[in-house]
Structure 1
Amino acid sequence: MKLISQLSREANIPIGTIRFYEKSGLISGTTKQGVTSNNYVYYDDEVTEKLRFIKMAKAVGFTLAEIRQVIDAWYQKELTKASKMEVLNLKLEQIDTKIGELKAMKKQIARCKYNIENGLSQ
């Protein structure tokens, strides 16, 4: 069990972000039973793993809403291998669509730049 400062260092995530994830229901800690002199919240290793999952999922384009939909089921082993693959395949399709949109935007910007450089547009 670790305190939020230890968790922050271990997961390399700011304390404020961890608190936000906790308020959002993505993670949760526990208090020690019978201790009333402080409000310390303790986090177990599963929380560390969830934070790493959240960080990885955000890095590849998952939104927090999407992460919220799957994180508990993913960690409670409720999702089958096929279900996990379906979630990931859907995200890959969304990324491919976004790449196509970005390529089209890049082409349009390059065309505008060319026109400006060659006096074809005011």
Structure 2
Amino acid sequence: MLVNELSKRTGLSIHTIRYYENLGMIKGVTDENVTSNNYKHYDANTIERLEIIIEAREVGFTLAEIKKILISWFETTDSKPETLELFQAKIKEIDDKMKYFKQTKSLLEKVCEKIQSNND
């Protein structure tokens, strides 16, 4: 499929798809028999890669981390401990953020209570 179809099927813009391709996260193939254009073709594997990228971005992975995940997932068979470590580090990071946000929320609630009691 061409990049337009890939964009429609994933919901990503063509610009974003090209960006991920420039980073080496996906790869399109040009037809060497056609010299009149530089159209790249993408297979179903590319959709799977892009879906992983989308989901990983949604949970807070950086592009560098996602690239490691993709390499581990698609290109190597013995990097499971490294991948597990990456996911565990992200879980810890999320736990730390949750703790910070709970503390921030508590502080804001106290400020709101003070403001309310001063208005009474």
- Gap regions ≥5 residues in structure 1: none
Which residue in 1 is equivalent to 2:47?
A: 48
Identity of aligned residues (%): 36
Secondary structure class of the residue paired with 2:41: coil
Structure 1 pair 84–42 and aligned structure 2 pair: CA distance change class (3 A): same
Q: Does 1:28 align with 2:27?
A: yes
Show the 5 A alignment for 1:54-93. 54-93=53-92
- Residue pair 2:72, 2:80 contacting (<8 A) in 1 also: no
Q: CA deviation at 1:29?
A: 0.7
Q: Does 1:3 align with 2:7?
A: no
Secondary structure class of the residue paired with 1:118: helix
TM-score, with length taken from structure 2: 0.87
Secondary structure class of the residue paired with 1:119: helix
2-structure distance, mates of 1:104, 1:49? 38
1-structure distance, mates of 2:108, 2:53? 34
TM-score, with length taken from structure 1: 0.85
Which residue in 2 is equivalent to 1:101?
A: 100
Deviations 1:17-65 (A, max 9, x none): 1112112222121110121111101112221111011011111111112
2-structure distance, mates of 1:108, 1:9? 44
Structure 1 pair 72–98 and aligned structure 2 pair: CA distance change class (3 A): same
- More moved, 50-59 vs 60-69: 60-69
- Gap regions ≥5 residues in structure 2: none
- The one-letter code sitting in structure 2 at the alignment partner of 1:100 is K
Runs of at least 4 residues of structure 1 off by over 4 A?
A: none
Secondary structure class of the residue paired with 1:28: coil
